[in-house]
Structure 1
Amino acid sequence: MMQASLVWWLLAGGLVIAELLTGTFYLLMVALGCLAGGAMTLLGFSVAEQLAMAAAVALSALLLLRRSRFAAARGRQALNNPSNNLDLGASLQVAAWQGRRARAFYRGTQWDVELAEGENIASEWYEIKEMRGNLLIVVAKRS
């Protein structure tokens, strides 16, 4: 019985170490499932019950993490981080505006473009400030 729980603890420890190398929280949630499986071993449950509990705890923890504000904020930050998105800061030319929206040729195709909040139509050249799906949010390019 102790050997089976040792496998669970070692697996959880390995996942925590792997988590430290990757920088996400997903492996940590799976490690929680392994800890639950180890606890079930100590309580004398069968292997099938241990696996079921480990899977249920890991899946529940993963779903809670995906729905948390932390995961949503991290996803938004990643999209608008120039290190992750090389389009941010790039220049494009907008020939004609229709209100605060336009179509512009960028990277070989037409894109929807929207003027950023507080910006005025100032020139032909604009800089990409943000991306929302296939919509480019732009500001007037400063010389």
Structure 2
Amino acid sequence: MPATTAENEKRERQTRELPELSQASASGAGGAADDVGKSAAAASRVSITLAEWQKLIEGTRSLLAEVLKDGLALTASSLQDQANFLKNLAEAKNLSELLKCHLNFAEQSWSRSFSEGSKMLDHLKTQQSSAARSAIRQA
């Protein structure tokens, strides 16, 4: 009787984890050759799925690394711009130089944010288009 309980628990686990394997094992308790073939086919589909997941995770990791790298570069350059801005403000001798410092800082910040933001979006577009190509190949 304990062996039957263990087998039932094993089948329930398989049902929760891999429906294809449980259906293949439940189709015949006699162990027919057809069931073995179905189990092997289901196992091969699972291994392909795991490889695809690994590829997807690696692609996501590299994408995030590139975006974070660009984000940190933008942050570093923005901090440098702010330090230069404060230095220029301290050196301003009159109101027109003060306004010129503010205008230059605003223009530089806008320009840098736009160009670096475009780089980050380009990484996302590249990743999206490569994911679309791989999805088309699989279909």
More strand as a share of residues: 1
Report which of the two structures shows the higher radius of gyration computed on alpha carbons.
2
| Larger relative contact order (CA 8 Å, sep ≥ 6) | 2
More helix as a share of residues: 2
On whether the aligned pair clears a TM of 0.5, the verdict is no
